[in-house]
């Protein structure tokens, strides 16, 4: 029962992390730039917005002209979302509360463990690429004109949170030692019952 609760907790955390990662990938506020006191520019992985009180947005038309950090972050974030989506399907098959592969406890636990590992890899990819993007923004800020202010936006924090939740959920799903302890205890209890039952017939 406890292992089922850990699986559900890990699945829920990974699901929330996947939603946060996908949301951060689509958000515009990856980088903020202020020109003067009123003009603002928001740059995301797919589009950029600019304006004073009202902002107008347009999609990036030329991929090869984008900065290296934008291209790399876009590719790795898409890879992370895809990997988490596959891990979601694999974990669903391997969880104890589902009816897939009934009677094959060992295969289900291995499948859930594989899904958890995929979630952990996805979360680590998100954390690494987001941290690298922040490093590039800080580098640009140090080299920029004092009249222009660069800083990272809210999408960075959402991406960090998504990566942490995904990795944490994968860790719970991949905790096979917890499942082994319960399965071993159940097996030992069944073995004890099987050995004590024949003796009772002789009494």
Domain coordinates in residue numbering, the chain? 2-28+67-201
Pairwise CA distance, residues 125 & 168, whole Å = 13
d(CA 27, CA 159): 10
DSSP label at 61?
-
Would you say residue 180 has pLDDT above 60? no
Question: What is the number of alpha carbons within 13 Å of residue 202 lying toward its C-beta?
Answer: 4
Cα–Cα distance, 107 to 104 (Å, whole number) = 5
Q: Hey, which bits of 6-141 come out as E strands?
A: 31-35, 39-43, 47-51, 55-59
Selecting from 3.20.20.70, 2.60.120.10, 3.50.50.60, 1.20.140.150, what CATH number does the domain 2-28+67-201 have?
1.20.140.150
How far is it between the farthest Cα atoms of the chain? 94
Lowest-pLDDT range of 15-24, 75-84, 108-117: 108-117
* Per-residue model confidence as pLDDT tens digits over 124-157: 999 999 999 998 888 877 766 655 567 788 999 9
Among 79-83, 115-119, 190-194, which is the least confidently predicted range? Answer: 190-194
């Amino acid at each position: 029962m406890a292992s089922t609760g850990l699986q559900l907790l890990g699945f829920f955390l990974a699901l929330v992390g996947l939603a946060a990662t996908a949301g951060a990938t689509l958000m515009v506020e990856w980088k903020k730039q202020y020109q003067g006191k009123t003009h603002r520019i928001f740059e995301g992985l797919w589009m950029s917005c600019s304006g004073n009180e009202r902002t107008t947005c347009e999609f990036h038309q030329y991929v090869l002209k984008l900065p290296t950090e934008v291209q790399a972050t876009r590719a790795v974030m898409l890879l992370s979302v895809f990997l988490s989506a596959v891990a979601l399907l694999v974990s669903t098959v391997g969880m104890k509360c589902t009816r897939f592969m009934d009677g094959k406890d060992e295969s289900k636990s291995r499948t859930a463990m594989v899904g958890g590992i995929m979630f952990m890899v996805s979360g680590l990819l998100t954390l690494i690429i987001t941290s690298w993007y922040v490093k590039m923004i800080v580098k640009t800020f140090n080299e920029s004109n004092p009249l222009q202010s660069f800083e990272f936006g809210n999408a960075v924090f959402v991406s960090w949170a998504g990566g942490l939740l995904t990795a944490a959920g994968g860790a719970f799903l991949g905790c096979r030692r917890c499942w082994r302890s319960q399965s071993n205890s159940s097996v030992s209890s069944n073995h004890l019952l099987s050995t004590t039952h024949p003796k009772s017939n002789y009494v």
